Amino acid sequence: MSILNMLRLVLGLSVLCCVFVTSSAQTCRNQTFSNRVFATCRDLPQLTAYLHWTYDEASGKLDIAFKHAGITSTNRWVAWAINPRNSLDPAMIGAQALVAIPQANGSPRAYTSSIASTATQLEEGSISYPVEGLSATYQNNEVTIFATLTLPNGTTSLVHVWQDGPLSGSTPQEHSHETSHQNSKETLNLISGSSTQASGNSRQKRRNTHGVLNAVSWGILMPMGAIIARYLKVFKSAEPAWFYLHVTCQASAYIVGVSGFGTGLKLGSESEGVESDNHRTIGIILICLGTLQVFALFLRLNKDHKYRVYWNAYHHLVGYATIGLSIANVFVGFDTLEKYVGDRYHSWRSAYIGIIGALGVIAILLEAYTWIIVLKRRKSENKMPHEANGVNGHDSRPQQV
């Protein structure tokens, strides 16, 4: 055989292999079901999953077959859900799920579950859609869920989410937080079959921005400004630098905090169904208290003014209240995040605890040190009148020339 013929043979075999691989690649279009035919199907973008459906808009009947490949063990659960709030972030909270758990012997257990929080264990219960013919199969490492749901009148699109995760005995456990699992959600048009996925991690970026701005401003800069004012002014050499440092720190915290408050309002308007009333209320109170402190700066009285003592009381009371609420609200924010997105921000909480703990230790050390200085200064001042008369009644102070 000539070299040319060998090349032709190799090229032909390569083409055949490519055709074979392409044709054998699994897509929803080459999947079939016994006694079931669906009008539309879609290869879902994550987790090797597929959705087949037939939708009758007039009656709201939605027949679905959700197939999830790659389930190599009966020690995993599979779920497909619709989010009635039509929210992609968080798509899980409020989702109405169809769950399948493969069994070692027999057909998978299939049931419905309404998801109220990220801590769910997919407890069996009724959902907000009427469901008929719910069943599941487990063959060739693939779990398929069949069901007919009745959607509200006029529904043309929905937000759906799909997941799989481990079991502990027969109880579903939390799914992975890898990117493929985080992005297993989309808005699906039931009529055209088109879909819209979450726009990258834009919502998460805004969430991160909101958290960083507020933790740094209200949660770190505000306490730092108070530490500067309380302890540096004890040192005469720090006058008047401590005052300008204090004002700079607090003003920066207020400006950055207002920006963080604005991002929070925007984030809240986009997060329908997310309950953050306590966090929002404390945030509004902080903005009001911070604004009062700004006005206090412009109304600052001279040290020898007869009403200065009242200004000091007002400034200190509002200032310490702001700091206390600021730190508390950072933790309320972390609690809200953990409720709706899981423990993804646990490291952030730990980092903030470390920072605020370090500031607390510094404040305690400075408190002790400054009290030592103040007591020594008072002791020295108490001796001055006695020493001023000298041992024999003469003035012992250095004479000015």
Q: Can you name the residues that pair with 53 across neighbouring β-strands?
A: 40, 64
Rounded Cα distance between 370 and 372, Å, is 5
Q: What are phi and psi of 165, to 5 degrees?
A: -165, 180
Rounded Cα distance between 33 and 30, Å, is 10
Rounded Cα distance between 228 and 359, Å, is 11
Rounded Cα distance between 17 and 11, Å, is 10
Angle at 374 between CA 369 and CA 379, to 5 degrees: 125
DSSP-derived letter for residue 2 is: -
Angle at 378 between CA 375 and CA 383, to 5 degrees: 130
Segment holding 41, helix H or strand E: strand 40-43
Rounded Cα distance between 67 and 56, Å, is 21
The answer to whether the annotation marks 246 as part of a ligand binding site is: yes
Up-side HSE of residue 144: CA atoms within 13 Å toward CB? 19
The answer to whether the annotation marks 346 as part of a ligand binding site is: no
The answer to whether the annotation marks 394 as part of a ligand binding site is: no
Q: What are phi and psi of 65, to 5 degrees?
A: -135, 115
The answer to whether the annotation marks 386 as part of a ligand binding site is: no
Specify binding-site residues.
210, 246, 279, 315
Specify binding-site residues for heme b.
210, 246, 279, 315
